[in-house]
Amino acid sequence: MNLNKKLFNMAKKIIFSLLFMVLVIQFLGPATFSAGAFEFETSLKFWGSGRTLIHFPPLGKVVAPTHIPPLDFHLTLKNINLEEMAEYVSNFSQTGFWPKKIIQEIKINIIKYMTSLLLLSFFLGMASMLLWTRKNINKKEMFWAGLVNFLVLLFFLTSALLSYNITAFSRAEYEGILEAAPWVLSALQEGIGVIENIGGQFMEVVENISFLQKEMEKNTPPVERKDTKRILHVSDIHNNPAAFNFIQRIVETFDVEIIIDTGDLVDYGTSLEMELFSQIFANIDIPYVFIPGNHESPLVVEQLKKIKNITVLEEGVIEIAGLRIAGIADPASYSTAMVVADETTMETTAQKLQEIVYGAERADIIAAHNPEFFKFIRNNNYILLGGHQHTPYIKKAENYLEINAGTTGASGIRGFKNLEINFSLILLNLQYSETENALVPFSADLIKVKQFPLNFSFERFIFQD
């Protein structure tokens, strides 16, 4: 009877010890480690369903059923050292070996983490006996409790590792922005070659457009160049480097004086994306005014402000290249969340833009990413430039002109999903009017280039009789 009672008491202590270990590990903070240019956090969770969850804040996560329950493995990418990353990329281009090295470092650090958890489980077992009773400390019971904890956790870890199936990531679930990852990876394989091909074709396309423009101008009243301003309106480039081949050809061919970009240069608001554009922007030698869109972030905006020739217009009125430009940033650009502002915020932003414009001495151009912000200023013969909708248009109303460049980057990587690659931008010509003592719209050229098959269109809108 006494033996049964002792066994029962010991069983209760072991169960308590195991529960104590599970609770501590479940709520234990993640371990941090570095692998190459990347900093990761890893953690282990009980009461799972045998999944590996790889987190990419703020983009989302990848979830795959990789092993038998009850453990879940979590791996979070916390930071990327861009200087080290550039060095690794250089090594990769020369040798192609560095990804294997990084994966090996990740494996080694995860093994170290699991080893530390096993040691922790042993000491937690010993500590649980101290919590159970502080009067009669039994070192033998402490040892056995620690050993049982160690063996149970070792069993779960071994079962998970032996059953681990790396091919499960082929049927992984993607959450957040990463829901697009499966087709993005597929599109990228085709897209890199497509982008290079498009870039080479833009020279011929723009030459043909230039010929069309000259033919049209034969039937257009001549305009003194000194009395005009030629503005290139672009928008929604979305990380597509081919867009800048298009832009540069247009600038060189048509003698553009200033570029106004109404936002969404990037997709995810990361500094890594901006690294891709740093050299491209260095080749632009005319004023470039940028109004942040909902895909920008504070980090992107700050990096843009450091680039020569780029003027970031977040709120207010600036004077540049002989133009007074009023504008306001999309409120989403002030945070890392890539969402469209809610109805209340949209209304507030539209009212704020109205105050900026009405309070200005003069505004030759009014620019914003989302055309919804023009709600209260579609009047007074204002010239409004917007984007966001990925559909270009030129709308001449009775008392205002509204222009949308569409997507100069062909919707970025999303355009490659169904190979719907449609570039668009607008050349706007303003002419000085002595009657109104102001620059007024003379003409606007809507230029669209479509791939598969390659074709282009050039549509001219004349505003002066």
Give the per-residue pLDDT at 132.
76
Most confident of 80-94, 106-120, 204-218: 106-120
Give the per-residue pLDDT at 280.
82
The CA distances from residue 172 to 44, 179, 181, 452, in Å, are 19, 10, 10, 31
More confident residue, 422 or 461: 461
Residue 351 has pLDDT above 90, yes or no: yes
Cross-sheet strand order for the sheet of 365-368: 315-320, 323-328, 365-368, 382-386, 400-404, 393-396
Domain ranges of the chain: 2-171, 186-462
Q: Which residues of 433-454 are buried (b: 16+ CB within 10 A; e: fewer)?
A: eeeeeebbbbbbbbbbbebeee
- Give yes or no for a contact between 312 and 333, defined as CB atoms under 8 angstroms apart: no
For residue 229, is it left (φ>0), alpha (ψ between -120 and 50) or beta? beta
Give the per-residue pLDDT at 228.
84
Residue 306 has pLDDT above 60, yes or no: yes
Residue 250 has pLDDT above 60, yes or no: yes
Residue-averaged pLDDT of the chain: 82
pLDDT band, very low/low/confident/very high, at 97 (cuts 50, 70, 90): very low
Give the per-residue pLDDT at 413.
59
Distant-in-sequence, close-in-space partners of 167: CB < 8 Å, separation ≥ 6: none
- Give yes or no for a contact between 447 and 410, defined as CB atoms under 8 angstroms apart: no
Give the per-residue pLDDT at 246.
84
Pick from 5-9, 250-254, 415-419, 451-455: least confident: 415-419
What integer is the mean pLDDT of 330-354?
87
What integer is the mean pLDDT of 341-356?
93
What integer is the mean pLDDT of 449-455?
69
Give the right CATH number for 186-462 from 3.60.21.10, 3.90.230.10, 3.30.70.260, 3.40.640.10: 3.60.21.10
Distant-in-sequence, close-in-space partners of 75: CB < 8 Å, separation ≥ 6: 40, 41, 42, 52, 53, 54, 55, 106, 110
Short-list 439, 442, 444, 437, CA closest to 459: 444
pLDDT band, very low/low/confident/very high, at 421 (cuts 50, 70, 90): low
3-state secondary structure the chain: CHHHHHHHHHHHHHHHHHHHHHHHHHCCCCEEEEECCEEEEEEEECCCCCCEEEEECCCEEEEECCCCCCCEEEEEEEEECHHHHHHHHHHHHHCCCHHHHHHHHHHHHHHHHHHHHHHHHHHHHHHHHHHHCCCCCCHHHHHHHHHHHHHHHHHHHHHHHHCCCHHHHHHCEEEEHHHHHHHHHHHHHHHHHHHHHHHHHHHHHHHHHHHHHHHHHCCCCCCCHHHEEEEEEECCCCCCCHHHHHHHHHHHHHCCCEEEECCCCCCCCCHHHHHHHHHHHHCCCCCEEECCCCCCCHHHHHHHHCCCCEEECCEEEEEECCEEEEEECCHHHHCCCCCCCCHHHHHHHHHHHHHHHHHCCCCCEEEECCHHHHCCCCCCCEEEEECCCCCCEEEECCCEEEEECCCCCCCHHHHHCCCCCEEEEEEEEEEEECCCCEEEEEEEEEEEEECCCCEEEEEEEECCC
Short-list 279, 221, 232, CA closest to 258: 232
**Per-residue model confidence as pLDDT tens digits over 363-391:** 999 999 999 999 999 999 999 999 999 99
Residue 96 has pLDDT above 50, yes or no: no
